A and B are shown apart, each in its own frame.
Chain A
């Protein structure tokens, strides 16, 4: 449905987007993830034809964005980072104006408008001036604007920004619902949002595509050695001594004390091994009761931090698939992405 091939965008000396290629198939909901300034908005602006790429090509439904801009624009509904609202219009007037701009079918405009007002949850403010609406409602009007003309592709740049938690859930549900009939690209730096809504995640950092895969696959890729977090009642030395030599345990490191009289440990296991039973017996023998044992499953946050910081440090590319032996860097302790990006 959407094909992006070798797209680069240069602003003077600054390379905002660097040779990005990806495909989005019809009906997919794809999350576009990256820290601030990674090039998410620029890429979206290029797909919608607002900006032109310095190099590379973009096509939507087989139409090139430079050669057939009209055909592309007919198929794409766009919600930019800042909703493009005319503050001096009422919601209804604004949506009618957008419908005219998009040359929507006149016979169905009114009917469709009712549906969009309802979908976006702005029916009761339809006669209010946009100027007088709160940020959350403006965001919804922006989303409604993108839906006008029922485009097959929706491009949503940070659709939940500025909304309260309740509204965020509503908009997420709406996007999930829209995903049944539209192909959607949405960008975000809120990771749970992406993992909640999207089939697939495209991670970019500093203008480069870092990874593109489903959430689970991304996790697997970075997750060769499973890890456990343990909280054991007893002294650090005793716990470490009890765990050394347990079959299937590669490495144990102390993580300090959170609860009084206990110690937190990180246990790295050998590939394929499940030493939980052995750990239980070893600690039980040493009279060190286990208060807590959890698997360190990577969240999207951690994958994201890992991928983006590795890239920033010029480390091994995740595509090489060999980052297990050295031990994956502990994600929560990884340097601040925002700082290294600035």
Chain B
């Protein structure tokens, strides 16, 4: 894992990718710092981080697009998968390398609040919270990008699909207000989800018995929920979408609150994505 980590880190800084990522990020951070903080004499630096999120959607794909796509294209995955290193080790090594580049870039921006602190009192906890939240958010974005990269051998497809996935998660906050609320739409939506899960199980296993059992189980759960959980379906669609809203959790950090639940949310979200990446790589051996 350490060998993969070091090589990956090295390749970020021996190729333009690391510099493009850092340069772009720091350029925009500087721009927002100038307009939000310097010109307005505003000490709320976490606002700058919040503004960068949108740009971050665009530059995370740059950071993650080649992680696995390039290995597959260059056939170097044949080396990685035939040496005594576990797939988990390879995936984690690459993930932490991308996270390290991101963390390093983020630490450079600490210069801004430090500079400001010479000229007045800063909302220290809010800024710290903003940093922690932004770091966790970034780690999750990177995990999304890595998963996308493992699904293709084309860097462009990897980058575009990462951008699309992140954009979807970002706009969830806006579309949430527009989705239909109410019991009937909730039940319909839950049934559609259940049908998709069953279809996926069937396509994965090609086993009618397991699929049917799954169908019966999910149908029972949906029906039971109608009677036992009052109000469950009322806001089901909204609640479901909110699971995938990465940015809404970020807002809590900006208030200077280091709550456990968003931290757990980000960490577990990333863990699931890393695990899925491992599965994708292992599955490739069987096809």
Query: Do A and B belong to a common assembly?
Result: yes
User: Chain A interface (Cβ within 8 Å of chain B)?
Assistant: 11, 45, 48-52, 69-70, 73-74, 76, 78, 80, 82, 84-89, 97-98, 100-103, 145
Closest partner residue, chain B, to A142 (CB atom): B79
Closest partner residue, chain A, to B4 (CB atom): A101
Asked if residues B7 and A50 are in contact (CB atoms below 8 Å), the reply is no
Asked if residues A101 and B80 are in contact (CB atoms below 8 Å), the reply is yes
Asked if residues B3 and A101 are in contact (CB atoms below 8 Å), the reply is yes
User: Would you give the 0/1 interface string for B120-138, flagging 1 where the beta carbon is closer than 8 Å to chain A?
Assistant: 0000000000000000000
| Contact residues in A for B76 (Cβ distance below 8 Å) | 84-86
A316 and B9 CA atoms in complex are apart in Å by: 58
Closest partner residue, chain A, to B11 (CB atom): A88
B75 at the interface (CB under 8 A from A): yes
Most interface-central of A49, A69, A101 (chain B CB within 10 A): A101
Query: Contacts A50-B82, A102-B83 known; A11 to B287 CB distance under 8 Å?
Result: yes
| Contact residues in B for A11 (Cβ distance below 8 Å) | 287
Kindly identify which residue among B15, B75, B84, B287 contacts A102, using a CB–CB cutoff of 8 Å: B84
Closest partner residue, chain B, to A84 (CB atom): B79
| Contact residues in A for B2 (Cβ distance below 8 Å) | 100
Closest partner residue, chain B, to A75 (CB atom): B84
Query: Contacts A11-B287, A85-B76, A88-B14 known; A48 to B82 CB distance under 8 Å?
Result: yes
| Contact residues in A for B77 (Cβ distance below 8 Å) | 84
| Contact residues in A for B118 (Cβ distance below 8 Å) | none
B78 at the interface (CB under 8 A from A): yes
CB distance from A78 to the nearest CB of B (A): 5
Asked if residues A50 and B81 are in contact (CB atoms below 8 Å), the reply is yes
B259 at the interface (CB under 8 A from A): no
Query: Contacts A52-B285, A101-B3 known; A87 to B79 CB distance under 8 Å?
Result: no
Kindly identify which residue among A48, A86, A100 contacts B11, using a CB–CB cutoff of 8 Å: A86
A145 and B79 CA atoms in complex are apart in Å by: 9
Besides the known contacts A87-B74, A101-B79, 14 further A-B residue pairs in the complex with CB atoms under 8 A apart: A11-B287, A48-B82, A49-B81, A50-B78, A50-B285, A51-B285, A52-B286, A73-B82, A78-B82, A82-B78, A84-B75, A84-B78, A85-B74, A100-B3
| Contact residues in B for A85 (Cβ distance below 8 Å) | 74, 76
| Contact residues in B for A74 (Cβ distance below 8 Å) | 84
| Contact residues in B for A48 (Cβ distance below 8 Å) | 82
Most interface-central of B7, B75, B79 (chain A CB within 10 A): B79
Kindly identify which residue among A52, A76, A82 contacts B75, using a CB–CB cutoff of 8 Å: A82
| Contact residues in A for B84 (Cβ distance below 8 Å) | 69-70, 73-74, 101-103
Asked if residues B3 and A76 are in contact (CB atoms below 8 Å), the reply is no
23 CB < 8 A contacts A-B:
A11-B287, A50-B285, A52-B285, A52-B286, A70-B84, A70-B86, A74-B84, A78-B79, A80-B75, A80-B78, A80-B79, A82-B78, A84-B77, A84-B78, A86-B76, A97-B3, A98-B83, A100-B6, A101-B3, A101-B79, A101-B83, A102-B83, A103-B84
| Contact residues in B for A98 (Cβ distance below 8 Å) | 79, 83
A73 and B14 CA atoms in complex are apart in Å by: 30
| Contact residues in A for B80 (Cβ distance below 8 Å) | 84, 101
A102 and B79 CA atoms in complex are apart in Å by: 10
Asked if residues B83 and A73 are in contact (CB atoms below 8 Å), the reply is yes
B38 at the interface (CB under 8 A from A): no
A162 and B281 CA atoms in complex are apart in Å by: 30
| Contact residues in B for A86 (Cβ distance below 8 Å) | 7, 11, 74, 76
Asked if residues B85 and A101 are in contact (CB atoms below 8 Å), the reply is yes
CB distance from B83 to the nearest CB of A (A): 4
Closest partner residue, chain B, to A86 (CB atom): B76
User: In residues 31-85 of chain B, which contact A (Cβ within 8 Å)?
Assistant: 74-85
CB distance from A51 to the nearest CB of B (A): 5
CB distance from B9 to the nearest CB of A (A): 12
A51 and B4 CA atoms in complex are apart in Å by: 21
User: Would you give the 0/1 interface string for B92-118, flagging 1 where the beta carbon is closer than 8 Å to chain A?
Assistant: 000000000000000000000000000
Closest partner residue, chain B, to A76 (CB atom): B82
CB distance from B20 to the nearest CB of A (A): 15
| Contact residues in A for B78 (Cβ distance below 8 Å) | 45, 50, 78, 80, 82, 84
Closest partner residue, chain A, to B283 (CB atom): A52
A82 and B71 CA atoms in complex are apart in Å by: 12
A98 and B86 CA atoms in complex are apart in Å by: 15
CB distance from A79 to the nearest CB of B (A): 9
Closest partner residue, chain A, to B81 (CB atom): A50
A59 and B238 CA atoms in complex are apart in Å by: 53
| Contact residues in A for B4 (Cβ distance below 8 Å) | 101
| Contact residues in B for A82 (Cβ distance below 8 Å) | 75, 78
User: Would you give the 0/1 interface string for B1-24, flagging 1 where the beta carbon is closer than 8 Å to chain A?
Assistant: 011101100110011000000000
| Contact residues in B for A103 (Cβ distance below 8 Å) | 84
A266 and B84 CA atoms in complex are apart in Å by: 57
CB distance from B74 to the nearest CB of A (A): 7
| Contact residues in A for B7 (Cβ distance below 8 Å) | 86, 89, 97
A76 and B79 CA atoms in complex are apart in Å by: 11
Closest partner residue, chain A, to B83 (CB atom): A101
| Contact residues in A for B86 (Cβ distance below 8 Å) | 70
| Contact residues in B for A76 (Cβ distance below 8 Å) | 82
CB distance from B112 to the nearest CB of A (A): 32
Closest partner residue, chain B, to A82 (CB atom): B75
A84 and B77 CA atoms in complex are apart in Å by: 7
